[in-house]
């Protein structure tokens, strides 16, 4: 190579690097112009899904189906957690921003991985009592030099993107009920949109808008009507109240939380969001009158300027199977039935792929993309599902092998759309679960050993116009029975789709057109979330945060890391430290059968949501069958009643338990530990009675 040419290359590369460093020093100066023109900055990842349409698509193509086999690890960073990592990073002006469990935020140099800052909002460990499903955080938003995120204890916080110092903080969630924030906020026109979690408890759902510069709340749209005696906030709530037939829903909150799935549509100036399940989850306990129960399990649109109601569509009226609709909502302009349409699409947890008119909410198409047996299709005149009566086992008290089960056909992991292939790539799940009385389920399974049960995941390519599957990846079967089998998807202009999984601990690349697997990398841990792609100094990178359930359970290191790949990367990912899990070694049973059964009831009411059936949680919470507290009533009482492990996330349950119930609880835990250690042939461990 001629010397002048070499000097030119060196100087050009140096100039590009200096320009990137200068951008990083100036902070994440994201505004509406940049967000609307995100494709003009293809090397950035400015928002949770990169663009307002929520396509999770990268226009970069230096990594493509011809060379992706040469992809290697450029750098990695160990993340300070042993909890599940479910975040989608941002990459703005040379800096990667990653949210972590317990609502922490980390900033890293996008080229080298050097840590720039780490912010800890110091959520009290005892707040874990208000969480259903872990201490995760799914991402942040960038706006005008600030990184904005929500916390588990209900704060919305803005940080200086250069220093990680707090700019403002506001309490977003109401104080009187059990709320938390785990989802990523969205930002547009100087407004931050955020909801909350808590539908498993007594929360009343809502979505908020805040001033991105000050944190001042601008409006709130409640998703569930409140106490009629106190008056309704607006006409929408008054209308929704007519769909609750049994008075008193407001005492339980009603549910309908907006814990994910928020989209801003610039074409209509609407905020479109999905809502969660009802409270209680059993439709008969919630509303014996059989009302639709708006706006739970619904897709709702409000006007961004003031939060006023625009439209709604409810995929699952009077829902009872945990089919929330908080999955990602994707915007698109498409030809449908010979007509040009501006639509919003969702691969719903209930197994149907919906296409709605984005301006009116009218359902245009609804086809199953996975196994579905709770409904025989959707009536396209009314938009209502044709529910199979037998699926409502809470009414019939019979056994039904439900599909999808409560894990759903598609959960929070985001799908991706390629404008090149015109396909949607769905992290899809097949989940069969027996519903009905516990004893009847066990009898049915014993008599029908070939009945499908459990979880199977895959990456699926779906044609949204033809409403049919085009290809699917190999299947991921989770032997532990966990609900998170597949990760989010990223499609790129290089004709590649990136996708990870939990059971095989792989991060893989598939050819976008036909699904051929082109490359795979062993992550040594689960992949649960969405990758992104960005460009620095002319070089394309692919980044994914990893970390999930591992052998060894809650106390084991789970390999939580940010992995960043490039062509020709040579970094070697080290093995995880060796870990030996505590054995299941219960003491002799000290109580009679009635005490054990009473303990089972206490466990189901107070402990099962976090610690899993029979106390056998594996990652987010400790496996109680292995706890030393089984050997000591004093230790159990110190943990459960006195809260000696509050800062580790185990709050005191003194206010929730009666005299003597911890004794019964210990007896029950000893019984399930003994059953797990030496189960009788063909018998299942004693489970909580219903």
State the helix-helix crossing angle for 593-606 and 661-677, rounded to 10 degrees.
100
The per-residue DSSP string of 611-657 comes to H-GGG---SSS--GGG-GGGG-HHHHHHHHTS-TTGGGT----GGG-
What does the longest C-alpha to C-alpha distance in the chain come to?
89
DSSP secondary structure code for residue 25 in this structure: H
* CA terminus-to-terminus distance, the chain: 78
Q: How far is CA 25 from CA 116, 501, 534, 535, in A?
A: 11, 36, 18, 17
Q: Is residue 9 classed as helix, strand or coil in its secondary structure?
A: helix
Helix (H) or strand (E) holding 598: helix 593-606
The verdict on whether 160 is a catalytic residue reads: no
CB 571 within 8 A of CB 72: yes
Q: Which of 265, 322, 324, 529 is catalytic?
A: 322
Q: How far is CA 685 from CA 164, 580, 673, in A?
A: 49, 24, 9
Query: Which residues, 6+ apart, have CB-to-CB distance to 450 below 8 Å?
Result: none
DSSP secondary structure code for residue 294 in this structure: T
Q: Is residue 18 classed as helix, strand or coil in its secondary structure?
A: helix
How many other β-carbons are positioned within 10 Å of the β-carbon of residue 9? Answer: 11
Q: What phi and psi values does residue 446 have, to the nearest 5 degrees? A: -65, -35
Per-residue b or e along 348-386, where b marks 16 or more CB atoms closer than 10 Å to that residue's CB = bbbbbbbbbbbbebebbbbbbbbbbbbbeebeeeebbbe
Nearest to 467 by CA among 378, 381, 361, 530: 378
CB 180 within 8 A of CB 198: yes
Q: Is residue 227 classed as helix, strand or coil in its secondary structure?
A: coil
Helix (H) or strand (E) holding 98: strand 95-100
CB 391 within 8 A of CB 434: no
DSSP secondary structure code for residue 400 in this structure: E
Distance CA 345, CA 482 (A): 27
How many other β-carbons are positioned within 10 Å of the β-carbon of residue 517? Answer: 14
Tell me what percent of the chain is helix, strand and coil, each rounded to the nearest 5: 20, 30, 50
Distance CA 100, CA 607 (A): 25
Look up residue 297 and give its two tokens.
């399990």
Distance CA 13, CA 676 (A): 61
Catalytic residues: 322
């Amino acid at each position: 190579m001629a010397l002048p040419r070499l000097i030119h290359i060196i100087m050009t590369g140096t100039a590009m690097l200096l320009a990137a460093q200068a951008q990083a020093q100036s902070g994440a100066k994201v505004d509406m112009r940049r967000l609307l023109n995100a494709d003009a900055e293809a090397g950035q990842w400015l928002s949770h899904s990169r663009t307002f349409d929520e396509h999770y698509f990268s226009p970069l193509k230096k990594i493509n189906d011809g060379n992706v086999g040469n992809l290697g690890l450029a750098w990695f960073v160990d993340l300070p957690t042993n909890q599940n990592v479910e975040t989608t990073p941002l990459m703005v002006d040379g800096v990667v921003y990653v949210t972590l469990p317990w609502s922490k935020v980390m900033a890293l140099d996008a080229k080298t991985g050097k840590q720039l800052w780490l912010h800890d909002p110091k959520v009290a460990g005892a707040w874990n009592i208000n969480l259903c499903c872990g201490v995760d955080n799914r991402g942040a938003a960038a706006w005008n030099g600030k990184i904005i995120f929500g916390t588990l204890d209900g704060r919305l916080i803005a940080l200086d993107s250069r220093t990680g110092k707090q700019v403002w903080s506001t309490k977003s969630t109401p104080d009187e009920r059990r709320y938390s924030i785990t989802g990523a906020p969205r930002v547009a026109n100087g407004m931050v949109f955020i909801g909350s979690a808590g539908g498993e408890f007594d929360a009343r759902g809502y979505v908020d808008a805040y001033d991105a510069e000050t944190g001042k709340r601008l409006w709130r749209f409640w998703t569930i009507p409140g106490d009629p005696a106190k008056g309704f906030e607006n006409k929408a709530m008054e209308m929704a109240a007519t769909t609750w037939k049994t008075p008193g829903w407001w005492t339980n909150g009603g549910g309908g939380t907006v814990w994910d799935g928020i989209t801003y549509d610039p074409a209509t100036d609407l905020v479109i969001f999905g809502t969660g399940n009802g409270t209680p989850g059993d439709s008969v306990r919630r509303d014996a009158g059989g009302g639709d129960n708006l706006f739970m399990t619904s897709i709702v649109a409000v006007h961004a300027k003031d939060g006023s109601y625009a439209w709604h569509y409810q995929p699952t009226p009077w829902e009872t199977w945990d089919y929330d609709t908080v999955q990602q909502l994707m915007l698109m302009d498409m030809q449908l039935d010979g007509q040009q349409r501006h639509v919003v699409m969702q691969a719903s947890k209930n197994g149907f792929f919906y296409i709605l008119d984005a301006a009116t909410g009218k359902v245009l198409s609804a086809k199953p993309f996975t196994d579905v047996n709770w409904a025989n299709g959707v009536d396209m005149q009314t938009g209502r599902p044709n529910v199979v009566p037998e699926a409502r086992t809470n009414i019939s008290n019979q056994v039904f092998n439900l599909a999808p089960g409560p894990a759903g056909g598609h959960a929070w992991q985001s799908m991706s759309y390629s404008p090149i292939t015109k396909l949607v790539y769905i992290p899809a799940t097949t989940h069969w679960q027996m519903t009905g009385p516990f004893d009847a389920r066990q009898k049915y399974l014993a008599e029908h050993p070939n009945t499908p049960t459990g979880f199977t995941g895959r990456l699926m390519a779906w044609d949204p116009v033809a409403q049919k599957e085009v290809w699917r990846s190999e299947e991921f079967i989770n032997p532990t029975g966990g609900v998170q089998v597949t990760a989010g998807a990223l499609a790129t202009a290089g004709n590649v789709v990136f996708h990870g999984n939990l059971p095989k601990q792989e991060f893989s690349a598939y050819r976008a057109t036909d699904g051929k697997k082109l490359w795979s990398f062993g992550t040594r841990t689960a992949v649960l979330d969405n990758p992104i792609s960005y460009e620095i100094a002319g070089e394309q990178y692919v980044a994914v945060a990893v970390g999930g359930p591992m052998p060894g359970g809650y106390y084991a290191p789970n390999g939580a890391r940010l992995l960043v790949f490039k062509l020709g990367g040579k970094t070697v990912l080290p093995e995880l430290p060796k870990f030996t899990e505590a054995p299941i070694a219960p003491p002799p049973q000290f109580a009679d059968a009635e005490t054990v059964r009473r303990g089972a009831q206490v466990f189901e009411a107070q402990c099962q949501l976090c610690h899993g059936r029979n106390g056998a949680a594996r990652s987010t919470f400790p496996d109680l069958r292995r706890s030393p507290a089984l050997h000591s009533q004093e230790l159990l009482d110190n943990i459960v009643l006195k809260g000696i492990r509050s800062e580790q996330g185990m709050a005191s349950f003194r206010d929730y338990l009666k005299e003597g119930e911890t004794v019964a609880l210990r007896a029950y835990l000893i019984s399930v530990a003994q059953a797990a250690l030496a189960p009788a042939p063909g018998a299942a461990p004693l489970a909580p009675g219903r």
